[in-house]
Structure 1
Amino acid sequence: MRADARAKRDQIITAALVQIGSRPSSEITLEGIAADAGVGIATLYRHFPTRAALYDACAIVFLDRIETLLDATLDGFEEDPVARFESFVWTLVESGVGILAAALAADSSTGGVVERRDAFMDKVQLLIDAAAPHGIIAPGQSPMQLATELIVATRPLAAPLAGILPDVRDRLVRHLMVGWRTTA
């Protein structure tokens, strides 16, 4: 791919990641993503012929980013397990982990996303295995369970509801972390 085409593709993914991480699905349009990326809608479609293709590319980029965070969390985990685990979770929340919603539901026909997701989930299992002896996560929980619960609890809310309950996301995440300790 030419450097200028690659740059436009990256701009589109960056704009989409921002929108997916900060807006409810009903407020996200491909036209809006193209405008935020500074490209025309035809350029967006040239790189991503469908919304699903764009979301898959976003999921792969996001997984690459958070895998670095996961590696850092696992490195030296035993020094302060609770703080490292909670820092990992809160960083996911702040980075808009809801971006992964489509990737969690992807099937084997989705090019590259399933393999990337599964490789990442294998590493999350390492985190679960390290956290369980410290009582941070109850044994028997799966990476997919934790990811799904976190994504559902942190999806951006529509403006009226977000205005009524501005702290709901953080309260739900705190509830999840308590529940993960006790759920088997």
Structure 2
Amino acid sequence: MRADARAKRDQIIAAALAQIRSRPNSEITLEGIAADAGVGIATLYRHFPSRAALYNACAAVFLDQIEMLLDGTLDGFDADPSGRFEAFVWALVESGVGILATALAAEPSAAGGEVVVERRDAFMDKVQLLIDAAAPHGIIAPGQSPLQLATELIVATRPLAAPLAELFPDVRDLLVRHLMAGWRTTA
């Protein structure tokens, strides 16, 4: 891929990730993503022929980003297990973990889906390592699945529509604190 085409593709992915992190899915349009990326809709479609192809590309980029977070969490985990685990969860929340919904639902047959499924599965295997390291410290119940934890975190942190976000500005953080407390109480 030419450097200018690669740059436009990266701009589109960055714009899509920004919208997915900050808006409810019902408010995200491909036209809006193209505008935010500074490209025309035809350019977006040239790189991503469908919403699924774009979302799969976003999921692959996001998985790479949070895998680095997870690697950092696992390194030196035993020095401060509770602090490292909580810092990882909050880093996921701040990074917009809701984009993982796309990765969790990825189908290998969709455009780019096979890459996302492969990366998702490798990432979830590493999350299992974190669960296994956290369980003896009472941070999380043994036997919890990475998919269950990811799903709970995604549901609790997806952006709300503006009226709800205005009524309950702290609801995301409150729900995350409830989740972490619930994971501990079942341990």
TM-score when scaled to structure 1?
0.98
Match of 1:151 among 141, 154, 157: 154
Extract unaligned runs of 5+ from structure 2.
Answer: none
CA distance in 2, matches of 1:178, 1:135: 11
Q: Percent identity?
A: 85
Instruction: Specify the code of the residue in structure 2 equivalent to 1:99.
Output: I
TM-score when scaled to structure 2?
0.96
1:64 aligns with 2:67: no
1:31 aligns with 2:34: no
Instruction: Specify the code of the residue in structure 2 equivalent to 1:73.
Output: T
Output one character per residue of 1:53-104: Cα deviation in whole Å (capped at 9) or x when no partner.
0000000000000100100000000010111000000010011000111111
How many positions carry a matched residue from both structures?
A: 184
1:121 aligns with 2:119: no
Output one character per residue of 1:90-120: Cα deviation in whole Å (capped at 9) or x when no partner.
0100110001111111233223111110000
CA distance in 2, matches of 1:149, 1:55: 20
Alignment of 1:1-184 (within 5 A): 1-109=1-109, 110-183=113-186
CA distance in 2, matches of 1:11, 1:95: 18
Instruction: Specify the code of the residue in structure 2 equivalent to 1:96.
Output: G
CA distance in 2, matches of 1:105, 1:16: 17
Extract unaligned runs of 5+ from structure 1.
Answer: none
Instruction: Specify the code of the residue in structure 2 equivalent to 1:141.
Output: Q
Q: CA RMSD in A?
A: 0.9
